[in-house]
Chain A
Amino acid sequence: MHLWKNVVIERLMIPLLCFAAGMAQSRADDPPKAKQLAPPTQFRAEDVDGDAGTAIDLFWTLSPDDEEDTKPRKVLRYVISRKQIGGSEEAVVLESGSPFVFEVEEKKPEFEEIGEATYRKDTFRDSNCETGVPYLYRIQAFGPDNAASPTVELKEPIIATLQWFNLQRSWFAVFVFLICGAVIVFIEMARRGKTLKIRKIAGLEAIKDAVGRATEMGRSCLFVPGIQDINDIQTVAGITILAQVAKTTADYRATLEVPTSRSLVMTTARDTVEAAYLQAGRPDEYNEDDIYYITDEQFGYVASVTGKMVRDKPAACFYMGAFYAESLILAETGNSVGAIQVAGTAMPTQLPFFVAACDFTLIGEEFFAASAYLSGEPQQLGSLKGQDFGKLIGGILLLAGCLIMTISAFESRGEPPAEGKETVLQSAQIYLKENILGKGGFKP
C-alpha cells in the first residue's frame, strides 16, 4: 500500500506538476486582460431649460473607482456617446463607370462619441442637438491601460425642446421691466411739468467755466470722445455730451477740436456738432475740419493727440468716453500744458488715473447723467430719477438679502442643515440668490 501510494503519487505528481507549470507559462505569455472598472450610476438626462432646443444636460454619479485620493487614478475620463432614435442616415454612393446611377444606402444609426468629461466631473452638456429629435445617450468610464467600465445607457431617449421664452431669465425680465418702466414713468412725469430736483455735480458745473476760460485766453477746447467705436454705449454717451459742450463753445465762440479714433465716430460727431452750432444760431462758426479722424490704433491716436496738445496748448480738455491705458498719457499731457481737464468714463480701471490727473472727473454713472444734466431738459432729468429708482431697488434688495442671511445664520448657528429640510429663512436666502438674482426662474 505504502509502495503503491508512493509509486502512484510519484507517477502522477510529475505529469501534474508539468501540466501546472505549462499552464502557468501559457498564462504568463497571454496578454494581460484590460481591467474592468465599476460603471457610473444614476445616469440621467434633462432638456436644458430656456434654450432654442439645441442642448441636453447629462448627469451621473461617479464611478466608485473614481476616488479623489486614489493615486494613480483608476478612472481618467468618461466618454459620452449618442445615438439618434427613429431616423436613419442615408448615404449616396456613386456607381463606378456610370456617373448617373445613384445607389442609396440606408445606414442604421449607431452610437457616436460626442465628447468626454474628465475624472471627478459628473455633468456634461451636449450643445449640438437638433430640436425635436430623440436621442439615446451612453456613458463609459475609462482608465489607464485600456481599463474600461461597462457602458451605461439611458432607459429612454430624450428630446431637446424649443422654449419660446427663456424662463431662466424670468426674474431678470422683471428687473428690466421695473427699471426701464421707472425711467419711462419719470420721463413722462417730467414731460407733464412735474419739477424734479437734481443735485449739483461739480464736474459738469465746471464745463461752462472751462470753455469761458478758453475763450478769454484765445485758446481752443479739445474734446476726446474715447477710443472705441459707436457700438460702445460710452461713445454714444460721449457724443451726447459733445452736443452740449459744442452748444457752449458755439455760444462763447470758442474753437472746439474733436480728434477721433474711429471713422464712424468722426461722422457722428460732425453731425452732432453741426446740429449744436445750428441750434445755437451760429452755423458760420462750424468748421467740419475741426472734427477729424487720426487713426484707429490706440497709441498712434494718443501719440498724435498729445503732440497736438503740446503744440497747440488747448485751455480746456474734455475726455468723455471709453478709454484704456492711454487715459493717463492724455491727462498728464493736458496737465503739463496747464489745461483745465474734465473727464468722464465708465471704465472702472481708468477712473483712478483720471481722478488723480484731471481737475474734475465724472465717475461712472455721473458720466451717463452728464448729457441730461447739461441739457437741463426736464424729460432728460426725469431719466436721472429713474436711475435713482433702480439704485433704490438694488439697495433694498441688497440690505434685505444681507439681513435674511444674517438672521438665518443666527437661527441655524451650530446646527448642521438637514438635507431637504431648510428653514423659511434659508429657503428665502436660496431663492433670492439662485432665483431672483440668479438663473433659477420663478420656480423655487
Chain B
Amino acid sequence: MKRTVPLLISAVTGFILIGTAFIPMFEEWGNDAMAWFNLLAAFAFILGGGNLLKMQLQKISAQQAGWGYAAVTLIAFFVTLFVGLAKVGVHPNAKFPEFSWSGNYLEVGSAFWWFFEYIFTPLSATMFALLAFYISSAAFRAFRAKNTEATILLIIAVIVLLGRTYASEWLTGGFPNEPIFGEGGITYSDFKLDHLSQIIMDDFTTPGMRAIKIGIALGVASTSLKVLLGVDRSYLGSDQEA
C-alpha cells in the first residue's frame, strides 16, 4: 500500500504527460508541472536546512573533531538567512516608498548583497578557478604516451590545445595557401593547427558526441519506462519501516 499508491501516481502522471506532448491544447502541462516542482523544492529547504542544523548541532554537542567549524557553519548560515529573509538594508521600491518590504532582496548595498558579493561569489569563482590546476594534473596523468593509443590521444589533445591558442599562429601561421598535390584540393594551410583542430572537432568529436547522445536518449526512454511501469521502484523506499 505504501508503495502501490505512489506507483500509481507516478505511472498516471508520467503517461498523461507523455500523451499531452501530442495534444496541442495540453502541451503546457509539462512546463506547469516543472514550475510546481520549483515550489516543492523551495518548501523542501525546510527538510534540508533542518538536516544541516541537526548535523552541525550534533557535532557541537558531541564535541566531535572539528566541532568549531560546525559552529562557524551555523553562525554563517543563520546570519545570512536572517539578513536575507528580513531584507536588512533593503530600501523600498522608489515608486512605492510607503511599502517598506517592496524592495528587491538582492539590492546593491544591502546586507544580503554584501554576503553574496564578497563571500559567495569570490568563493564560487575561486573553486571554479581551481579547475585550472586540476585539469593540468589530470591531463598530465591521462595523456602519457604509454602505448600507441595513448600516444595518438596525446597528439590529438596537443593539436586541439595549441589550435585554440596563439601558438597555432606562431607555429603554423606561415603555411601558404597553395595546393600540395596539383589541383587536388588540399593546401598547405589546411595543416595549420587551428584548422586541424577544427577538423578534429567537426569530424571526430561530433560523431562521437552524437552517438553518445543517441544512446543517452534511448537510456532515458528505458529508465523512464522502468520507473513508470514500476519495474524499478527502488526510489520509493520500502513497504516496511526500518
Determine whether A and B are in direct contact in the complex, meaning some CB atoms lie less than 8 angstroms apart: yes
Asked if B94 is at the interface (CB within 8 A of a chain A CB), the reply is: no
B27-82: which have CB < 8 Å to A?
27, 34, 37, 40-41, 44-49, 51-52, 55, 58
* Contact status A348-B219, CB under 8 Å: no
* Docked pose: A173 CA to B234 CA in angstroms: 29
* Contact status A365-B237, CB under 8 Å: no
* Docked pose: A313 CA to B209 CA in angstroms: 34
Asked if A379 is at the interface (CB within 8 A of a chain B CB), the reply is: yes
* Contact status A328-B135, CB under 8 Å: yes
19 contacts between A and B (CB under 8 A): A166-B22, A169-B21, A236-B227, A240-B235, A263-B44, A263-B47, A264-B47, A266-B47, A274-B242, A292-B52, A293-B49, A299-B128, A328-B131, A357-B142, A363-B212, A364-B212, A364-B213, A371-B223, A379-B231
Contact with B along A368-386 (1 / 0, CB 8 A): 1101100101011001101
Q: When A164-B25, A328-B135, A391-B215 are in contact, do A383 and B231 touch as well, CB less than 8 Å?
A: yes
Asked if B124 is at the interface (CB within 8 A of a chain A CB), the reply is: yes
Asked if A231 is at the interface (CB within 8 A of a chain B CB), the reply is: yes
Asked if A163 is at the interface (CB within 8 A of a chain B CB), the reply is: yes
A305-336: which have CB < 8 Å to B?
325-326, 328-329, 331-332, 335
Asked if B24 is at the interface (CB within 8 A of a chain A CB), the reply is: yes
B188-236: which have CB < 8 Å to A?
209, 212-216, 218-227, 229, 231-232, 234-236
* Docked pose: A289 CA to B52 CA in angstroms: 10
* Docked pose: A319 CA to B218 CA in angstroms: 21
Interface residue count on the B side (C-beta < 8 Å): 61
Q: When A262-B41, A293-B52 are in contact, do A303 and B212 touch as well, CB less than 8 Å?
A: no
Q: Which residue among A50, A275, A380, A390 has the maximum number of chain B CB atoms within 10 Å of its CB?
A: A275
* Contact status B142-A180, CB under 8 Å: no
* Docked pose: A286 CA to B231 CA in angstroms: 25
Q: Which 5 A-B pairs have the closest CB atoms?
A: A368-B219, A271-B237, A263-B48, A365-B215, A243-B234
Asked if A394 is at the interface (CB within 8 A of a chain B CB), the reply is: yes
Asked if B147 is at the interface (CB within 8 A of a chain A CB), the reply is: no
Query: Chain B contacts of A375 at CB under 8 A?
Result: 232
* Set B21, B24, B123: member contacting A51, Cβ < 8 A: B24
Asked if B130 is at the interface (CB within 8 A of a chain A CB), the reply is: yes
Residue of chain A at shortest CB distance from B234: A243
* Docked pose: A176 CA to B236 CA in angstroms: 26
Residue of chain B at shortest CB distance from A246: B234
Query: Chain A contacts of B58 at CB under 8 A?
Result: 289
* Contact status A272-B48, CB under 8 Å: no
Q: When A163-B24, A166-B22, A380-B226 are in contact, do A390 and B127 touch as well, CB less than 8 Å?
A: no
Asked if B137 is at the interface (CB within 8 A of a chain A CB), the reply is: yes
Instruction: For residue B51, give the distance in angstroms from its CB to the closest CB of chain A.
Output: 5
Instruction: For residue B80, give the distance in angstroms from its CB to the closest CB of chain A.
Output: 11
Q: When A52-B27, A325-B128 are in contact, do A233 and B220 touch as well, CB less than 8 Å?
A: yes
Query: Chain B contacts of A335 at CB under 8 A?
Result: 141
Interface residue count on the A side (C-beta < 8 Å): 89
Describe B's contact surface by its main secondary structure. helix
* Contact status A357-B138, CB under 8 Å: yes
* Docked pose: A332 CA to B49 CA in angstroms: 29
Contact with A along B106-122 (1 / 0, CB 8 A): 00000000000000100
Instruction: For residue B81, give the distance in angstroms from its CB to the closest CB of chain A.
Output: 12
Contact with B along A7-41 (1 / 0, CB 8 A): 00000000000000000000000000000000000
Residue of chain A at shortest CB distance from B69: A307
Asked if A283 is at the interface (CB within 8 A of a chain B CB), the reply is: yes
Query: Chain A contacts of B226 at CB under 8 A?
Result: 187, 372, 380, 383
B84-122: which have CB < 8 Å to A?
120
* Contact status A278-B242, CB under 8 Å: yes
* Docked pose: A161 CA to B18 CA in angstroms: 23
Asked if B139 is at the interface (CB within 8 A of a chain A CB), the reply is: yes
Asked if B9 is at the interface (CB within 8 A of a chain A CB), the reply is: no
* Contact status A264-B213, CB under 8 Å: no
Residue of chain B at shortest CB distance from A260: B48
A332-352: which have CB < 8 Å to B?
332, 335, 346, 348, 351
Asked if A142 is at the interface (CB within 8 A of a chain B CB), the reply is: no
Contact with B along A225-237 (1 / 0, CB 8 A): 0000101010011
Instruction: For residue B165, give the distance in angstroms from its CB to the closest CB of chain A.
Output: 19
Asked if A436 is at the interface (CB within 8 A of a chain B CB), the reply is: no
